[in-house]
Structure 1
Amino acid sequence: MPDPGYRTLDTGRLGRIAGWMQSYVDRRRYAGSSVLVSQGGHEVFFHTAGQRSIENQLPFTRDTLVRIYSMTKPVTSLAVMMLAERGLFHLDAPVSTFLPSFSDMQALVPGASAIDQTEPAPSPTLHQLLTHTAGLSYPFNPGVLARAMEEQDLLFKPGQGALADMADKVAALPLAFQPGSRWEYSVSIDILGRVVEVVSGRTLAQFFQDEIFAPLGMTETGFSVPQGAGDRFASLYTPLAGDAMALNDAHSGGDTLRLFDEAGNSPFETASMYSGGGGLVSSIDDYRRFAEMLRRGGAVDGHRLIGPATLDFMMRNHLPGDIASMGPQSFAEQPMDGMGFGLGGAVVLDPARARTPGSIGDFSWGGMASTFFWLDRVNDLTVVFFTQLSPSSAYPSRSELKALIHGALCG
């Protein structure tokens, strides 16, 4: 056998993943889950465990559909860069060029204790939006702006109406800080989804379908559960006693798998909001096709979405240092020490400082329901993990899965 140029996976050691997945089900941490591992474009491991619906006793299967939440962000970021690659804008352009409601911005003064303690601020740039340095926030973050967003329910939920209207509501609030001065996980990618609509002249759903999903053969990915999916859509569970997204008021309840959003009665089945930051539903094979396109430099099966040089640019660290060095106060889907941020996902700068086995340059992101994917271009790996438990900070499953897979790199 010729040397493939990377470490290959020991199938016996990969088999440990199945026991790990089952242990999460047995301890009532996750109702069910699936893992799909590919190396060099070839599937080397797949396993499912548990149930997609405890109440209806339905198994978590390969064709189970899940809410991928923030794993939508890499898709939207790719859409932005596809348009930038066509010369339709540059990344230093202020977002107000496309969304006038972001003109005449204000930012909270340092140490502000009230939403009206502000000073003038420039309109954030597209690059700042892509890298979460724009000064926006999320309702579940700590801070003055987050509280104001929570009061107005500015979370881009699937049933919250038109994207344009929600973007204008975000623009009416001050920024949490001067653009470029800090990193804070935010609705910035939702705002970029609206930019995609304005520039392309299509809804975000239509742009995704025409330019990304159809070329990649992603037939089961969209802002609503696909027609004819039947009961394959998983229910969402939480260990919290209250709202599964209310991290500022997070307290555990008696049931570690409390039903929060039931398949058959979910807003994701008839979404009106096209949330570029967290709105997509997908299957594990569909998302693998997206991840494989990234690993292969922008093309799959003869369909090129983006140039390899542009994709390399996206997967570089776009921050001055790691995320931790930029003073974040927010929730994030990844560790912050030893992790940089590219355009659409985190980039491993130092696995030791991140305290998780990995390769320098690993590109990854996850979603609030504990889903996760990463690319390891050193070892030619793509990994997709699906489950449905919110919040994703409940258990350290992502770092455990990375350790399991790195422990299998023996060849």
Structure 2
Amino acid sequence: MSTPFELADPAALGFDAERLDRIAPFLKTSYLDSGRLPMTQLVIARDGQPVYYDRQGRMGEGREELRDDAIFRIASMTKPATSVAFMQMVEQCKVALEEPVTKVLPEFANLKIYKGGGGSIPFAPGDPSHPIRFVDLITHMSGLTYGLQNRTNIDAVYREHNLDFARGRMDSDEYIRILSELPLEFAPGEGWNYSVSTDVLGICVERLSGMRLGEYFQQHIFGPLGMTDTAFGVEDDTRLVDAYQYIPGKPPKMIDAGIGSNLGKPGKFDSGGGGLCGTIADYHRFTTMLVRGGELDGVRILSPKTVRLMRTNHLPDNADLTEMSSSLFSETNNAGTGFGLGFAMVIDPSKTLMPSSMGEFYWGGAYSTAFFVDPVEDITMVFMTQVYPSSTYPIRRQLKTLIYSALAESRAD
């Protein structure tokens, strides 16, 4: 098999090669042969050095075998990039985490907290909210929501305006205007709800930098890191895989062909919460930068102290998400899991009921892509596929189990 990576000897980096070799057959038998996933691509690294790579399946319906340089919709794996961009603003003292977002978004000056109504009747006049702070946005404690939560009357209005997927419908100023007229689910800082908060954070980056978010990413993150194939939208749609949706009891349904996708057309809005497309090789470089404390190949993106702050639990009283979350859906498990500045992280490995390290941080995307960074073991993983929603299969847990079961030398003891 060809590979976009120069693979190191697994044994030299503390892995059992025979156990790593269990992964490809598992994916083939459990997911590819059964038709549950159309394609899989995986890279595992330690100390920034790839030790295992596998790709299987096809680019899509009637298309060629999956390419090493295939481009995937990484959806919410955009959020960590947006969070890194914002923390670059913090490092430059252009903004502080504790400041109110009205410093950048004056439209949010008169937000109200939900008190009733919605649907067929207007929202009831809510009580005024105290200001959302930037830290509330980056931790999903803002009181904003997602239409996809499909839980409240506020979610329903988000769906009416298509706020979860605004790329082709409105620009960022219109996006903020609509949000400013809707009530919050709860007072900022008093709960956790997976939401459009990171989209709003991306607009803050735009206003602070004077640049469109994709342009900012290119100049300050992707370009310096050598992430040559990650962007909002795609230039070469022949490399974009087809996207699928899970249908109970049936094969996944193709919902967006790679060739001819609307992602090949310019968007009105760069979604900091979920709009990027990119390759596994690019995201591996991003995770390597994170596990190395903000630096890669002599290029520093963030300071080690900033990365440490980002991967620290910021939920009140070191709570986990079982105590704070009102979400029906997010890209994380709740038990033993905290939330930092753009990532979920493990705060109690025993409660997660899977192999993990204290302080390991991670996230995923709606099309079942995923990554994790283990700073204790210096391990990173990036997994790519393209089936919506990401809650369909337990593949993230299974991959973590297979990876840690192949670890022969732990650095935790």
Fold match (TM-score > 0.5): yes
CA distance in 2, matches of 1:327, 1:287: 28
Residue 140 in structure 1 maps to residue 148 in structure 2: yes
1:15 is the counterpart of 2:21: yes
Question: How far did 1:7 drift?
Answer: 7.8
Q: Is the 8 A contact 2:115 2:123 kept in 1?
A: no
Query: Please, which of 37, 43, 61 is the counterpart of residue 36 of structure 1?
Result: 43
**Deviation at residue 39 of structure 1 after TM alignment:** 0.6
Aligned length: 392
- 2:49 equivalent to 1:51: no
Tell me the distance in 1 between the aligned counterparts of 2:255 and 2:207.
34
Q: Name the counterpart of 1:319.
A: 315
Distance 1:341 1:410 in 2: 29
Q: Which position in structure 2 is the counterpart of 1:307? A: 303
1:119 aligns with 2:115: no
Q: Secondary structure of 1:52's match?
A: coil
Tell me by how many angstroms 1:209 deviates.
0.5
Query: Contact (CA 8 Å) 1:96, 1:103: kept in 2 or not?
Result: yes
Structure 1 residues 327, 57: CA separation in 2 closer, same or farther (over 3 Å shift)?
closer
| 1:138-190: CA deviation from partner (whole Å, max 9, x where unpaired) | 00111121111112211134323312221221221111111111100000000
Cross-structure match for 2:399:
401
Contact 2:20-2:52 at 8 Å conserved across structures? yes
> Which of 283, 293, 296 is the matching residue for 1:287?
283
The one-letter amino acid paired with 1:265 is G
Asked if 1:96 corresponds to 2:102, the answer is yes
Does the C-alpha gap of structure 1 residues 358 and 111 become closer, same or farther in structure 2, counting only changes over 3 Å? farther
Query: Retained in 1: the 8 A contact 2:209–2:216?
Result: yes
CA-to-partner distance for each residue in 1:191-250, whole Å, 9 max, x for gaps? Answer: 01100011111111111010001100011000011x3x351110100113xxxxxxxxxx
SS at match of 1:190: helix
Q: CA contact under 8 A between 2:116 and 2:123: conserved in structure 1?
A: no
Is the CA contact (8 Å cut-off) linking 2:237 and 2:264 kept in structure 1? no
Check the 8 A contact 1:367/1:392 in 2, yes or no. Answer: yes
Q: Is the 2:13–2:46 Cα contact (8 Å) retained in structure 1?
A: no
Give, in whole Å, the separation in 1 of the partners of 2:18 and 2:195: 41
Query: Whole-Å Cα distance in 1 between the matches of residues 328 and 343 of structure 2?
Result: 16
Which of 70, 74, 77 is the aligned partner of 2:80? Answer: 74
Equivalences for residues 59-208 of structure 1 within 5 A: 59-109=65-115, 116-117=123-124, 118-141=126-149, 142-208=151-217
Q: What's the counterpart of residue 328 of structure 2?
A: 330
Asked if structure 2 preserves the Cα contact closer than 8 Å seen for 1:65 and 1:234, the reply is yes
- Give structure 2 stretches of 5+ with no counterpart: 1-9
Quick check: 2:237–2:261 contact (8 Å CA) kept in 1?
A: no
1:205-216 alignment runs, 5 A limit: 205-216=214-225
Q: CA deviation at 1:322?
A: 0.5
Aligned to 2:347: 349
Partner residue, 2:251:
256
CA deviation after TM superposition for structure 1 residue 326, in Å: 0.8
Contact 1:34 1:61 in 2 (8 A): no
Distance in 1, matches of 2:404 and 2:84, equals 27
Identity %: 39
Unaligned runs of at least 5 residues, structure 1: 241-251
> Which residue does the alignment assign to 2:387?
389
Contact 1:115 1:148 in 2 (8 A): no
Secondary structure of the residue that 1:140 maps to in structure 2? Answer: helix
1:228-280 residue CA offsets vs partner (Å, 9 max, x unmatched) = x351110100113xxxxxxxxxxx3x533100111123222224120000000
Q: CA deviation at 1:51?
A: 1.2
- 1:62 Cα deviation from its structure 2 partner: 1.6
d(CA) in 2 for partners of 1:161 and 1:112?
23
Provide the aligned C-alpha RMSD in A. Answer: 1.8
Question: CA distance change for structure 1 residues 73 and 115 in 2, over 3 Å: closer, same or farther?
Answer: farther
Residues 88 and 345 from structure 1, CA distance in 2 versus in 1: closer, same or farther, beyond 3 angstroms? same
TM-score, with length taken from structure 1: 0.92
What letter matches 1:159 in structure 2?
G
Partner of 1:218: 227
| Cα distance between partner residues in 2 of 1:269 and 1:367 | 20
Secondary structure of the equivalent of 2:327? coil
How many angstroms does 1:95 deviate by? 1.1
Deviation at 1:324, TM superposition (A): 1.2
Matched residue type, 1:10: D
Output the CA distance in 2 between the equivalents of 1:383 and 1:329: 26
SS at match of 1:331: coil
